[in-house]
Structure 1
Amino acid sequence: MADLVLRSRRTVVDGAQRPAAVAVTGSRIVSVSSYDAAIEATEEIDLGDTALLPGLVDTHVHVNEPGRTEWEGFATATRAAAAGGVTTIIDMPLNSLPPTVDVEALRIKQAAACGQIHVDVGFWGGAIPGNASALPGLHDAGVFGFKAFLADSGVPEFPPVSPAELVSALRAVDALFVVHAEDPGHLRDAASSAAYADFLASRPAAAEHAAIATAIDAARVTGRRVHILHLSAAGALPLIAEAKAQGVRVTAETCPHYLTLDAAGIPDGATEFKCCPPIRDAANADALWRALADGLITCVVSDHSPCTPELKRRDTGDFAAAWGGIASVQLGLPVIWTAARERGHGLADVVEWMARRPAELAGLTGKGRIAPGADADLVAFDPDAAFEVDPRRLHHRNPVTPYAGRVLHGVVRTTWLRGRTVTTDQARGRFLAREG
């Protein structure tokens, strides 16, 4: 007898949407059957036309705890994730204090998170100048790979690496490296200004092109895996396509804000739109969508990077002084679904981009899919319901969002983590380690 059976006429299984019954025993899916299959179970829920999706996997989240918990924290970030249908996050090694650049720092972060997580949580390590010798031990401790910046990260305790230092880090450990790819030689200090156009001009597409070329060169000479984070500049896509055709182990992701927001529509002083690399124009977003549909861009992840409202400097509207980052882990699914359906994509496409492929990137074989043996991480999602984004209803610690007031389609009704309903009062998440 199963513990739970979920039936939906819109279940996303094996890359397609179809009627199905999903049976769960313990923490795992034990069968996927026809919608009307007779299955004995302790509990049965018929979702009808509400869709049943695998829990999303967000491999790019800045939780910031410990050290900058006033920006975010494990309790608030994971509650927001669950409310947005995300059942697995992988936390970035910076803006916490200390950054996750050695085993001791990893243990400090895990201790801070213990007992607070509402979804499953894994961790990236960090590659900074001088810590190459620490990377093998950190990898053995279970981190999913290593993040490196090629330009200023925004926090002094996580400095960027030079091209030579990136190669040294890749040679130090056979691991996945995820790279913030902007070239400092193409960036310029933004003058104090409330005009978004001035900020955008300070971080041109050429900075991404040059840094992506550097990352590809490092992957080529070392034979290691490199993943380009938060790709914004679509003009760099031919570089990635050519490298992949040559056998270089390079992949890329993008984020909801680059796919759905338009630089031309950002008002003066609206610093909630500031992120690095920046949001570009609508034609650029169209090209990113094409690359996503073609599989050249593999994942859509949040790059959830919150801060306090004060650091966003809405008092002055000064883009140069404001913190660069967008908090969106709770909103990524409806943001992408709203835009995807308008472009003719289905729920199976969204699941591919936001669940299966991020899980594949991180090597999480039990996540991101509805299949026997997989973790029973599931989401009841009403794709036809609409809502207006009210920042006060977000679970993020600081309700600052560029999506405020937008009408989005798609409402998460229930999230299950390993077969149990996620609630705000019980933190049942687990720490994840790199498999193998």
Structure 2
Amino acid sequence: MHTQQAQWDLIVRGGRVVLADAVQTLDIGIRDGRIAALGALPEDGSPALAADGLIVMPGMIDAHVHLNEPGMGHWEGFASGSAALAAGGCTTYVDMPLNGIPPTVTTDALTRKLEAARGASHIDYALWGGLVPGNLQELEALAEAGVAGFKAFMSSPGDPGEEAFREVDDLTLLEGMRILARLGRVLALHAESEPLTASLATAMRAAGRTGAAGYTASRPPVAELEAVRRALFYAEQTGCALHFVHISTAAAAEAIMAARRAGADVTLETCPHYLMLTEQTLLTRGAVAKCAPPLRSAEERERLWALTAQGAFDFIASDHSPCPLELKQGATIMDAWGGIAGAQSSLELIVGEGHLARGLPLPLLARLLATGPARRLGLAPRKGEIRLGADADLALVDPNRPYRLTAAHLLQRHRHSPYIGDTMRCKVTATLSRGRLVYTAEEGIRGAAAGMWMRPIQT
């Protein structure tokens, strides 16, 4: 009797597979970590993972996370942060340069960052380099070493220390853009006006307004819009490719879109917290919902959803910015650490609210969560889509499994989140990284940490 030879390392069977422009019920045949077949695959003895009734998304590429090693792993490290991301259906992340000691603004610091990540990350990763005053001479070496792009702040990123990541002055920003244009690399910007936000924060403190309303008033929409317009002007002068992180207002998004229509090489992201929460959340839940730019009004949130439906944004990213819980407690909101810890919830929130509640098509959400970041940061065609030849990076999502988020669900180092107590409309039930089953809802994280550094593919 002839026994058929198993062809695949794994078959993901019968899921609703989210392709670039359609959703189809398909089997996915995986061989050597790549997607080798899409279609109706025969039973041949290959191992199989049942996906009947599940949505099969390309694994999220979270282009904006802060995992804080080396030196600050007690806030969040590669092991805990990547576990939380994997549990949320993320298969690749891009780590920001600022909260490590030292920050990733030299090739030596990049080497130390890579040493901390090696053997610790459960999923694949890329790394941002930094643009700060005094490191213009480091940009070319960092680009050659393999950073995915560069990040700069136009407002203060926080309390300065001896090795702290600092905001750029205008001359550093302009000269940095000239260098990065020559190198063909993208500059990601936190766009808020430091003169406006610093002066307003001083005024709020002087008036005794150190709570939620005072903090929100100290970082108004005009501070974002002014910085966006200034950066776009510098990009027009230099030809530098820009990416604006965590855009919180429709006015800023529309200014960026207008520049793109005029020929600028510019992309933009927003975050789940701007699409899910409002300034009222900061009042009711406190500093776990503090971020910069701050949460906006319910009306602004609806404008952002309208822009999302129109395809205005290129990425949705978590801006996972964790800290020990005590830094969120005790002080006034003005003094508390500003950062939302949301790595594990991004895909569930966006699929749940965007698709299940608002009816946005899954291919659009897949572009925001995976394809857009992959293309912008040089990770495509290997990452970002369910297609033949791509890495088998998959998130299996049960749209009929709502649950109430508790701290016990979270795998990050410090289990606080503004979403605790909220009902998630869907659940990630399994995550595959290069064909390896790295997470299931029943077992949690599986296997050894085998995430790889993804250097950008330069075209």
Q: TM-score, normalised by structure 1?
A: 0.96
Q: CA deviation at 1:348?
A: 2.6
Q: Which amino acid aligns with 1:25?
A: R
Cα distance, 1:161 vs structure 2: 0.8
Q: Is the 8 A contact 2:82 2:123 kept in 1?
A: yes
1:343 alignment counterpart: 358
Q: Secondary structure at the match of 1:270?
A: helix
Which among 330, 334, 338 is matched to residue 344 of structure 2? Answer: 330
Offset, 1:358: 1.4
Residues of 1 paired with 2:44 and 2:171: CA distance? 60
Of the candidates 32, 36, 50, which is equivalent to residue 30 of structure 1? Answer: 36
Q: Measure, in 2, the Cα distance between the counterparts of 1:193 and 1:43.
A: 61
Q: Which residue of 2 aligns with 1:142?
A: 146
Deviation at 1:354, TM superposition (A): 0.5
- 2: CA distance between counterparts of 1:350 and 1:268? 29
Question: What amino acid sits opposite 1:98 in the alignment?
Answer: P
Cα deviation digits, residues 112-170 of structure 1 (max 9, x gap): 11110100011000000111110000000000110000110114211111222111011
Stretches of structure 1 lacking an aligned partner (at least 5 in a row): none
AA in 1 matched with 2:347: L
Which residue number in structure 2 is paired with residue 239 of structure 1? 255
Q: Secondary structure at the match of 2:401?
A: strand
Most deviating of 182-191 and 201-210: 182-191
- The equivalent residue for 2:195 is 185
Partner of 1:427: 449
Instruction: Measure the CA separation in 2 of the matches of 1:251 and 1:54.
Output: 21
Amino acid of the structure 2 residue aligned with 1:160: E
State the partner residue of 2:371: 356
Matches within 5 A, 1:161-180: 161-173=168-180, 174=183, 175-180=185-190
Matched, 1:84 2:99: no
Contact between 1:5 and 1:39, CA under 8 Å: does it hold in 2?
Answer: no
Of 93, 99, 111 in structure 2, the residue corresponding to residue 95 of structure 1 is 99
- 2:120 paired with 1:133: no
| Corresponding letter in the other structure for 2:186 | L
CA separation of 1:204 and 1:26: change in aligned 2, threshold 3 A = same
The answer to whether structure 1 residue 400 and structure 2 residue 416 are counterparts is yes
| Per-residue CA distance 1:391-419 (angstroms, 9 max, x = gap) | 12200100111001001111111111111
Counterpart of 2:111 in structure 1 is 107
Q: Distance in 2 between matches of 1:182 and 1:219?
A: 16
Range with greater deviation from structure 2 (267-276 or 394-403)? 267-276
Q: What residue identity is the alignment partner of 1:328?
A: G
Secondary structure at the counterpart of residue 199 of structure 1: helix
- The letter for the 2-side match of 1:374 is A
* Gap runs ≥5 in structure 2: 1-6, 439-444
Aligned to 2:216: 200
Structure 1 residues 127 and 41: alpha-carbon distance in aligned structure 2, compared to 1, 3 A threshold: farther
Q: Deviations over 1:29-72 (max 9, x none)?
A: 111113xx326352122311112111110000000011111110
Q: Is the 8 A contact 2:379 2:454 kept in 1?
A: no
Aligned 8 A contact 1:119 1:417 in 2: yes
Q: Deviations over 1:319-369 (max 9, x none)?
A: 111000001110111111222122221333321211111111212111111
Residue 5 in structure 1 maps to residue 17 in structure 2: no
SS of residue matched to 1:124: strand
State how far apart, in whole Å, the 2-side matches of 1:269 and 1:302 are. 19
Residue deviations 1:307-326, cap 9 Å, x none?
Answer: 111111x234x111100000
Following the alignment from structure 2 to structure 1, what is the Cα–Cα distance between the partners of residues 265 and 285?
A: 40
Q: Residue 384 of structure 1: SS of its match in structure 2?
A: coil
SS in 2 for 1:167: helix
Q: Is the 8 Å Cα contact of residues 282 and 295 (structure 2) preserved in structure 1?
A: no
Give SS of 2:283's match: coil
User: How much does 1:425 deviate?
Assistant: 4.7
Q: How does 1:362-401 map to 2 (within 5 A)?
A: 362-365=377-380, 366-401=382-417
8 Å contact 2:282–2:290 — kept in the other structure? no
Cα distance, 1:307–1:199 mapped onto 2, change above 3 Å: same
Q: Contact 2:253–2:268 (CA<8 Å) still a contact in 1? A: no
Q: Paired residues, what number?
A: 432
- Report the Cα distance in structure 1 between the residues aligned to 2:70 and 2:265, rounded to whole angstroms: 33
CA contact (8 A) 2:64 2:96 kept: yes
**Over aligned residue pairs, what C-alpha RMSD do you find?**
1.5
8 Å CA contact retained: 1:196, 1:268 = no
Letter paired with 1:327: A
In the TM superposition, residue 380 of structure 1 has moved relative to its aligned partner by 1.5
What is the TM-score of this pair, normalised by structure 2? Answer: 0.91
> Relative to structure 2, which stretch is displaced further, 347-356 or 276-285?
347-356
Q: How far apart, in 1, do the equivalents of 2:452 and 2:314 lie?
A: 26
Rounded Cα–Cα distance in structure 2 between residues aligned with 1:385 and 1:347: 17
Cα deviation digits, residues 10-45 of structure 1 (max 9, x gap): 1111232111111110110111113xx326352122
Q: Which residue of 2 aligns with 1:253?
A: 269
Alignment match, 2:24: 18
**1:292–1:298: 8 Å Cα contact kept in structure 2?**
no
When structure 1 is superposed on structure 2, of 256-265 and 41-50 the one drifting more is 41-50
Distance (Å, rounded) in 2 between the aligned partners of 1:269 and 1:367: 36
Matched, 1:315 2:352: no
1:120 aligned to 111, 116, 124, which one? 124
Identity across matched positions, percent: 38
For residue 338 of structure 1, give the secondary structure of its aligned residue in structure 2.
Answer: helix
